[in-house]
Amino acid sequence: MKNAVKYVYIAFAAGFCSTSYAAESLTVTSWGGALQKNQSSAFMEPFAKTTGIKVSQDEWSGELAKLRAMTESGSVVWDVIDVDPQSAEQACGQGLLEKLDYAKIVKPSSLVQGAVLDCAVGVSSYATILAYNPAKLKNTPTTITDIFDTVKFPGKRTFHKSPIDTLEVALMADGVPPEKVYEVLETPEGVDRAFKKLDTIKKDIVWWEAGAQPPQLLKSGEAVIGLAWNGRIGDANKNEKAGLGVVWNGQIQGFDMWSIPKGSKNQDAAYKFIQYTLNTSNNAELSKYVDYGPTVTDALKNVSPEKLKDLPTAPENMKSFLVQNAEFWGLNGPELSARFSTWVSK
């Protein structure tokens, strides 16, 4: 992330100003932009005020090379980092992250499916959903796989320029049940099947690379239907009056996850911070600022009914869904990304 910005919050709440807490500090690193601003309001600032622990912030763009350089040099300046599940698996396998002691955090059974990894724990859930411009379509889509139906929904469709989610949706559109997607995708024949399905609409695809692009493409009519991150569509509808439709059926859930870099110098404070964000009373706080769902199942009771309908982890939105398989992408991501890039360029 360019021009990384640091924020420091030092606050002491009555009754929490003990010498042991006052001496503690940590650096939390996330993705910057609106997400980190919202995380700060939901988690970093309240944690600092509650505990008196000094919280500094930094930004990154997920580059494992930077994390590797820190760990190998012994100069680790981060204590908690926000990682996606795939990067967490890769970094864990390369020894760049600490194996988490869940006894210090939360009972794994209290978290939603997919939020528990050896080196990372999900703090919030987002989803890749089907979004569309109702003004450009005569019919209303009802499932994420409708993106492949160019007869009923003619026009350009927009996809993330990444094999992640794209290949899964292709297989589901080709008749593979959600629960069988990764079983099929683990085989060479399954991969071929996904790319063959993508071939059927390749000429109609408009690719996006940044999360802000899908709502803009749909609003402008450059695309009429597309895969997008639910938070971006929700933000466009609320703040820009975009009027875009959302289809939850078939959503693919992903996570923002906390990890502790190998060699963190403030691990005790890091564990306290992660535990705080996964406390049932606190985990849903981020949902007040962005349409990301809590990962602690019981935290859903702290979300208003009006807000709940816009969250990936709302029961109503999870009647048909797929959770990104972090282990699969951690193992197969580089190879499939290379093949995907070659396919796109042809």
Instruction: Please state, as a whole number, how many other Cβ atoms lie within 10 Å of the Cβ of residue 184.
Output: 19
pLDDT exceeds 50 at position 307: yes
Average pLDDT, the chain: 92
Output the pLDDT for position 4.
42
Range scoring the smallest mean pLDDT among 12-26, 36-50, 189-203? 12-26
In the chain, where does the domain assigned CATH 3.40.190.10 lie? Answer: 8-124+255-313, 126-253+320-345
Structure confidence at residue 224 (pLDDT): 98
Q: What is the pLDDT of residue 189?
A: 98
* pLDDT given for residue 33 in this prediction: 86
Q: In the block, which residue shows the tokens 């929904």?
A: 153
The secondary structure of the chain in percent helix, strand, coil, rounded to multiples of 5, reads 45, 20, 35
Looking at residue 154, what is its pLDDT?
97
Model confidence over 249-269: pLDDT tens digits? 999 999 999 999 999 999 999
Q: Where are the alpha helices (DSSP H) in the chain?
A: 19-22, 33-39, 45-51, 64-73, 85-93, 166-173, 181-185, 188-199, 213-220, 230-239, 267-277, 305-308, 326-345
Structure pTM?
A: 0.87
Given this model, what pLDDT does residue 19 score?
38
Fold of 126-253+320-345: D-Maltodextrin-Binding Protein; domain 2 (3.40.190)
Q: What is the pLDDT of residues 76-117, one digit of tens each?
A: 999 999 999 999 999 999 999 999 999 999 999 999 999 999
Third-level CATH fold of 8-124+255-313: D-Maltodextrin-Binding Protein; domain 2 (3.40.190)
Q: For residues 88 and 329, is the Cβ–Cβ distance under 8 A?
A: no
